[in-house]
Structure 1
Amino acid sequence: MLLLELFWVFFRIGAFSFGGGYAMIPFLYHELVTTHAWLSHHEMTDVITVSQMTPGPVAINAATLVGYRLAGVLGSAIATGAVILPATLILLVVARYFWARYQAEGVQAVFRGIRPVAVALVASAAVTLAVGAVVDWITAVLLVAAGLASFYRVHPVVAIVACGLVGVLVYG
Protein backbone atom coordinates (compact mmCIF):
# COMPACT_ATOMS: atom_id res chain seq x y z
CA MET A 1 0.00 0.00 0.00
CA LEU A 2 2.88 2.38 0.78
CA LEU A 3 4.29 1.95 -2.73
CA LEU A 4 0.96 2.83 -4.33
CA GLU A 5 0.58 5.86 -2.05
CA LEU A 6 4.17 6.88 -2.79
CA PHE A 7 3.45 6.66 -6.53
CA TRP A 8 0.24 8.70 -6.23
CA VAL A 9 1.83 11.43 -4.08
CA PHE A 10 4.81 11.91 -6.40
CA PHE A 11 2.64 11.65 -9.52
CA ARG A 12 0.49 14.53 -8.19
CA ILE A 13 3.58 16.53 -7.27
CA GLY A 14 4.91 16.06 -10.79
CA ALA A 15 1.55 16.88 -12.37
CA PHE A 16 0.75 20.07 -10.50
CA SER A 17 4.13 21.71 -10.06
CA PHE A 18 4.97 24.34 -12.65
CA GLY A 19 8.25 26.21 -12.81
CA GLY A 20 10.84 23.50 -12.25
CA GLY A 21 12.27 21.66 -9.28
CA TYR A 22 12.38 24.59 -6.88
CA ALA A 23 8.73 25.34 -7.53
CA MET A 24 7.94 21.79 -6.41
CA ILE A 25 9.37 22.36 -2.93
CA PRO A 26 6.12 23.74 -1.43
CA PHE A 27 4.21 20.75 -2.82
CA LEU A 28 6.86 18.34 -1.56
CA TYR A 29 6.78 19.95 1.87
CA HIS A 30 2.99 19.90 2.08
CA GLU A 31 2.69 16.26 1.03
CA LEU A 32 5.71 14.78 2.80
CA VAL A 33 5.77 16.78 6.04
CA THR A 34 2.28 18.19 6.59
CA THR A 35 -0.10 15.67 5.01
CA HIS A 36 1.63 12.30 5.38
CA ALA A 37 4.22 13.09 8.09
CA TRP A 38 6.71 10.88 6.28
CA LEU A 39 9.45 13.42 7.06
CA SER A 40 10.08 15.99 9.76
CA HIS A 41 10.79 19.61 8.86
CA HIS A 42 14.51 19.09 9.45
CA GLU A 43 14.56 15.88 7.39
CA MET A 44 12.83 17.73 4.55
CA THR A 45 15.41 20.51 4.75
CA ASP A 46 18.15 17.88 4.56
CA VAL A 47 16.49 16.21 1.55
CA ILE A 48 16.33 19.55 -0.29
CA THR A 49 19.95 20.31 0.64
CA VAL A 50 21.23 16.96 -0.63
CA SER A 51 19.01 17.22 -3.72
CA GLN A 52 20.58 20.58 -4.57
CA MET A 53 24.12 19.33 -4.00
CA THR A 54 23.82 16.26 -6.20
CA PRO A 55 23.79 16.46 -10.00
CA GLY A 56 20.40 16.50 -11.66
CA PRO A 57 17.03 18.14 -11.15
CA VAL A 58 16.09 18.90 -7.54
CA ALA A 59 12.63 17.30 -7.75
CA ILE A 60 13.94 14.05 -9.21
CA ASN A 61 16.74 13.86 -6.66
CA ALA A 62 14.28 14.56 -3.84
CA ALA A 63 11.87 11.90 -5.10
CA THR A 64 14.71 9.40 -5.31
CA LEU A 65 15.92 10.16 -1.77
CA VAL A 66 12.47 10.13 -0.18
CA GLY A 67 11.41 7.00 -2.04
CA TYR A 68 14.54 5.23 -0.84
CA ARG A 69 14.06 6.38 2.76
CA LEU A 70 10.46 5.19 2.83
CA ALA A 71 10.59 1.98 0.79
CA GLY A 72 14.15 1.17 -0.28
CA VAL A 73 15.30 0.77 -3.87
CA LEU A 74 11.83 -0.07 -5.19
CA GLY A 75 10.37 2.99 -3.46
CA SER A 76 13.12 5.09 -4.95
CA ALA A 77 12.36 3.85 -8.46
CA ILE A 78 8.61 4.31 -8.02
CA ALA A 79 8.85 7.85 -6.60
CA THR A 80 11.33 8.91 -9.29
CA GLY A 81 9.25 7.44 -12.10
CA ALA A 82 6.05 8.92 -10.71
CA VAL A 83 7.42 12.45 -10.43
CA ILE A 84 8.63 12.51 -14.06
CA LEU A 85 5.71 10.63 -15.62
CA PRO A 86 3.26 13.58 -15.77
CA ALA A 87 5.81 15.88 -17.41
CA THR A 88 6.70 13.17 -19.90
CA LEU A 89 3.07 12.59 -20.85
CA ILE A 90 2.25 16.29 -21.02
CA LEU A 91 5.36 17.00 -23.09
CA LEU A 92 4.48 14.30 -25.60
CA VAL A 93 1.05 15.87 -26.14
CA VAL A 94 2.14 19.50 -26.02
CA ALA A 95 5.20 19.07 -28.24
CA ARG A 96 2.98 17.96 -31.07
CA TYR A 97 1.10 21.26 -31.10
CA PHE A 98 3.32 23.68 -29.23
CA TRP A 99 5.93 24.74 -31.77
CA ALA A 100 3.37 25.39 -34.46
CA ARG A 101 1.48 27.75 -32.14
CA TYR A 102 4.22 29.10 -29.87
CA GLN A 103 4.01 32.68 -31.16
CA ALA A 104 0.21 32.81 -30.89
CA GLU A 105 -0.99 35.52 -28.51
CA GLY A 106 -3.07 33.05 -26.48
CA VAL A 107 -0.09 30.79 -25.83
CA GLN A 108 2.09 33.74 -24.86
CA ALA A 109 -0.67 35.00 -22.54
CA VAL A 110 -0.70 31.66 -20.72
CA PHE A 111 3.06 31.84 -20.19
CA ARG A 112 2.86 35.44 -18.96
CA GLY A 113 0.27 34.28 -16.44
CA ILE A 114 2.20 31.23 -15.23
CA ARG A 115 5.62 32.89 -14.79
CA PRO A 116 4.70 34.91 -11.67
CA VAL A 117 3.24 31.79 -10.05
CA ALA A 118 6.50 29.92 -10.60
CA VAL A 119 8.47 32.77 -9.01
CA ALA A 120 6.06 32.93 -6.05
CA LEU A 121 6.35 29.17 -5.47
CA VAL A 122 10.15 29.36 -5.43
CA ALA A 123 10.02 32.33 -3.02
CA SER A 124 7.58 30.46 -0.77
CA ALA A 125 9.87 27.44 -0.70
CA ALA A 126 12.85 29.62 0.17
CA VAL A 127 11.03 31.24 3.10
CA THR A 128 9.71 27.90 4.39
CA LEU A 129 13.15 26.29 4.31
CA ALA A 130 14.90 29.37 5.72
CA VAL A 131 12.63 29.49 8.77
CA GLY A 132 13.52 25.91 9.67
CA ALA A 133 17.20 26.25 8.82
CA VAL A 134 17.87 29.21 11.11
CA VAL A 135 18.29 27.69 14.56
CA ASP A 136 20.73 30.22 16.05
CA TRP A 137 22.61 33.39 15.14
CA ILE A 138 25.37 31.46 13.33
CA THR A 139 22.94 29.79 10.94
CA ALA A 140 21.28 33.19 10.42
CA VAL A 141 24.65 34.67 9.44
CA LEU A 142 25.32 31.71 7.13
CA LEU A 143 21.91 32.19 5.50
CA VAL A 144 22.62 35.87 4.85
CA ALA A 145 26.15 35.08 3.63
CA ALA A 146 24.84 32.41 1.26
CA GLY A 147 22.20 34.84 -0.03
CA LEU A 148 24.85 37.49 -0.66
CA ALA A 149 27.09 34.93 -2.35
CA SER A 150 24.21 34.00 -4.64
CA PHE A 151 23.42 37.66 -5.34
CA TYR A 152 27.06 38.35 -6.26
CA ARG A 153 27.13 35.19 -8.38
CA VAL A 154 29.67 33.26 -6.34
CA HIS A 155 29.75 29.71 -7.65
CA PRO A 156 27.32 27.56 -5.60
CA VAL A 157 29.99 24.95 -4.87
CA VAL A 158 32.18 27.63 -3.28
CA ALA A 159 29.28 28.81 -1.10
CA ILE A 160 28.35 25.25 -0.09
CA VAL A 161 31.93 24.30 0.78
CA ALA A 162 32.51 27.56 2.70
CA CYS A 163 29.32 27.20 4.74
CA GLY A 164 30.04 23.52 5.31
CA LEU A 165 33.51 24.35 6.63
CA VAL A 166 32.06 26.97 8.97
CA GLY A 167 29.57 24.36 10.15
CA VAL A 168 32.37 21.89 10.88
CA LEU A 169 34.42 24.53 12.71
CA VAL A 170 31.53 25.83 14.79
CA TYR A 171 29.43 22.73 15.39
CA GLY A 172 31.97 19.94 14.90
Structure 2
Amino acid sequence: MSSYSKLIIFIVVLVLISAALVFIESSTDSINKSMPEISDGIVQGDADYNEAVELVNNKNFYESMEKAESAGDNYNKSLLELHEIQKNFSADVNKVHQEYITTTIRELELKLEAVDSLKEAIECFEVYSNYTGSNYGFEANDYMNQAVEYQHQRDSIVSDNPNLFKQNFIM
Protein backbone atom coordinates (compact mmCIF):
# COMPACT_ATOMS: atom_id res chain seq x y z
CA MET A 1 0.00 0.00 0.00
CA SER A 2 1.41 3.37 -0.96
CA SER A 3 2.05 6.13 1.52
CA TYR A 4 -0.56 8.21 -0.33
CA SER A 5 -3.22 5.53 0.34
CA LYS A 6 -2.18 5.31 3.99
CA LEU A 7 -2.47 9.08 4.30
CA ILE A 8 -5.93 9.07 2.72
CA ILE A 9 -7.08 6.25 5.03
CA PHE A 10 -5.64 8.08 8.04
CA ILE A 11 -7.40 11.33 7.07
CA VAL A 12 -10.71 9.53 6.46
CA VAL A 13 -10.50 7.75 9.82
CA LEU A 14 -9.59 11.02 11.55
CA VAL A 15 -12.51 12.83 9.90
CA LEU A 16 -14.91 10.03 10.84
CA ILE A 17 -13.76 10.06 14.46
CA SER A 18 -14.02 13.86 14.60
CA ALA A 19 -17.48 13.78 13.07
CA ALA A 20 -18.58 11.08 15.49
CA LEU A 21 -17.36 13.10 18.46
CA VAL A 22 -19.19 16.18 17.27
CA PHE A 23 -22.33 14.28 16.24
CA ILE A 24 -22.54 12.18 19.37
CA GLU A 25 -22.65 15.01 21.80
CA SER A 26 -23.56 13.75 25.20
CA SER A 27 -27.31 13.61 25.73
CA THR A 28 -26.70 14.84 29.26
CA ASP A 29 -24.84 17.86 27.85
CA SER A 30 -27.74 18.44 25.49
CA ILE A 31 -30.18 18.32 28.40
CA ASN A 32 -28.07 20.73 30.44
CA LYS A 33 -27.79 23.17 27.53
CA SER A 34 -31.50 23.05 26.68
CA MET A 35 -33.03 23.12 30.14
CA PRO A 36 -32.68 26.86 30.86
CA GLU A 37 -34.65 27.70 27.71
CA ILE A 38 -37.17 24.94 28.38
CA SER A 39 -37.55 26.10 31.98
CA ASP A 40 -38.02 29.71 30.86
CA GLY A 41 -40.78 28.57 28.49
CA ILE A 42 -42.56 26.73 31.30
CA VAL A 43 -42.23 29.67 33.70
CA GLN A 44 -43.49 32.14 31.08
CA GLY A 45 -46.31 29.76 30.13
CA ASP A 46 -47.34 29.53 33.79
CA ALA A 47 -47.29 33.32 34.14
CA ASP A 48 -49.35 33.75 30.96
CA TYR A 49 -51.82 31.08 32.04
CA ASN A 50 -52.31 32.64 35.48
CA GLU A 51 -52.78 36.05 33.91
CA ALA A 52 -55.30 34.59 31.45
CA VAL A 53 -57.32 33.16 34.34
CA GLU A 54 -57.24 36.50 36.14
CA LEU A 55 -58.38 38.29 32.98
CA VAL A 56 -61.23 35.80 32.53
CA ASN A 57 -62.34 36.45 36.09
CA ASN A 58 -62.36 40.17 35.24
CA LYS A 59 -64.39 39.43 32.08
CA ASN A 60 -61.62 40.69 29.82
CA PHE A 61 -62.05 37.87 27.32
CA TYR A 62 -60.02 39.23 24.41
CA GLU A 63 -56.85 39.73 26.44
CA SER A 64 -57.39 36.49 28.33
CA MET A 65 -57.52 34.60 25.03
CA GLU A 66 -54.27 36.27 23.96
CA LYS A 67 -52.59 35.24 27.22
CA ALA A 68 -53.97 31.70 26.96
CA GLU A 69 -52.59 31.42 23.43
CA SER A 70 -49.24 32.75 24.60
CA ALA A 71 -49.21 30.19 27.43
CA GLY A 72 -49.93 27.44 24.91
CA ASP A 73 -47.16 28.67 22.62
CA ASN A 74 -44.64 28.67 25.47
CA TYR A 75 -45.68 25.22 26.66
CA ASN A 76 -45.60 23.84 23.11
CA LYS A 77 -42.14 25.21 22.46
CA SER A 78 -40.78 23.60 25.62
CA LEU A 79 -42.60 20.34 24.88
CA LEU A 80 -41.16 20.14 21.37
CA GLU A 81 -37.64 20.66 22.73
CA LEU A 82 -38.18 17.95 25.33
CA HIS A 83 -39.46 15.52 22.70
CA GLU A 84 -36.35 16.25 20.65
CA ILE A 85 -34.12 15.52 23.63
CA GLN A 86 -36.06 12.35 24.39
CA LYS A 87 -35.80 11.22 20.78
CA ASN A 88 -32.02 11.57 20.92
CA PHE A 89 -31.41 9.82 24.25
CA SER A 90 -28.18 7.88 24.20
CA ALA A 91 -26.60 5.41 26.57
CA ASP A 92 -25.19 8.19 28.77
CA VAL A 93 -28.64 9.30 29.92
CA ASN A 94 -29.35 7.69 33.26
CA LYS A 95 -32.74 6.67 34.61
CA VAL A 96 -33.06 9.82 36.73
CA HIS A 97 -32.66 12.12 33.72
CA GLN A 98 -35.05 9.96 31.73
CA GLU A 99 -37.63 10.14 34.53
CA TYR A 100 -37.14 13.91 34.76
CA ILE A 101 -37.75 14.41 31.03
CA THR A 102 -40.74 12.05 31.00
CA THR A 103 -42.25 13.78 34.04
CA THR A 104 -41.77 17.22 32.50
CA ILE A 105 -43.33 16.08 29.23
CA ARG A 106 -46.40 14.78 31.08
CA GLU A 107 -46.61 18.05 33.04
CA LEU A 108 -46.59 20.06 29.84
CA GLU A 109 -49.14 17.82 28.13
CA LEU A 110 -51.53 18.43 31.03
CA LYS A 111 -50.83 22.16 30.99
CA LEU A 112 -51.67 22.23 27.29
CA GLU A 113 -54.94 20.41 28.06
CA ALA A 114 -55.63 23.09 30.67
CA VAL A 115 -54.95 25.83 28.12
CA ASP A 116 -57.30 24.20 25.61
CA SER A 117 -60.06 23.95 28.22
CA LEU A 118 -59.47 27.53 29.32
CA LYS A 119 -59.77 28.73 25.73
CA GLU A 120 -63.04 26.80 25.38
CA ALA A 121 -64.26 28.45 28.59
CA ILE A 122 -63.35 31.90 27.28
CA GLU A 123 -65.24 31.27 24.04
CA CYS A 124 -68.30 30.17 25.99
CA PHE A 125 -68.19 33.16 28.33
CA GLU A 126 -67.95 35.50 25.33
CA VAL A 127 -71.33 34.28 24.09
CA TYR A 128 -72.87 34.22 27.58
CA SER A 129 -72.90 30.45 27.85
CA ASN A 130 -71.79 30.69 31.46
CA TYR A 131 -72.77 27.19 32.57
CA THR A 132 -70.75 25.52 29.81
CA GLY A 133 -67.95 28.04 30.26
CA SER A 134 -67.79 27.24 33.97
CA ASN A 135 -67.60 23.52 33.20
CA TYR A 136 -64.64 24.14 30.88
CA GLY A 137 -63.10 26.34 33.55
CA PHE A 138 -63.39 23.56 36.14
CA GLU A 139 -61.89 21.14 33.63
CA ALA A 140 -58.98 23.53 33.01
CA ASN A 141 -58.45 23.79 36.75
CA ASP A 142 -58.43 19.99 37.11
CA TYR A 143 -55.85 19.62 34.35
CA MET A 144 -53.67 22.30 35.90
CA ASN A 145 -53.89 20.66 39.33
CA GLN A 146 -52.73 17.37 37.80
CA ALA A 147 -49.91 19.21 36.03
CA VAL A 148 -48.82 20.79 39.30
CA GLU A 149 -48.51 17.30 40.81
CA TYR A 150 -46.06 16.42 38.02
CA GLN A 151 -44.27 19.72 38.59
CA HIS A 152 -43.82 18.80 42.27
CA GLN A 153 -42.57 15.38 41.22
CA ARG A 154 -40.09 17.04 38.84
CA ASP A 155 -38.90 19.37 41.61
CA SER A 156 -38.44 16.35 43.91
CA ILE A 157 -36.34 14.58 41.30
CA VAL A 158 -34.01 17.59 41.18
CA SER A 159 -33.83 18.05 44.95
CA ASP A 160 -33.23 14.32 45.52
CA ASN A 161 -30.41 14.26 42.93
CA PRO A 162 -28.56 17.59 43.17
CA ASN A 163 -25.35 16.05 41.81
CA LEU A 164 -27.12 15.20 38.52
CA PHE A 165 -28.63 18.63 37.86
CA LYS A 166 -26.87 21.93 37.41
CA GLN A 167 -28.18 24.42 39.90
CA ASN A 168 -28.38 28.09 38.98
CA PHE A 169 -28.45 30.38 41.95
CA ILE A 170 -29.59 33.97 41.74
CA MET A 171 -27.82 36.23 44.19
The answer, yes or no, to whether TM exceeds 0.5 is no
Asked which structure has the greater RCO (Cα within 8 Å, sep 6+), the reply is 1
TM-score by length of 2: 0.32
TM-score by length of 1: 0.31
Q: Which has the larger radius of gyration?
A: 2
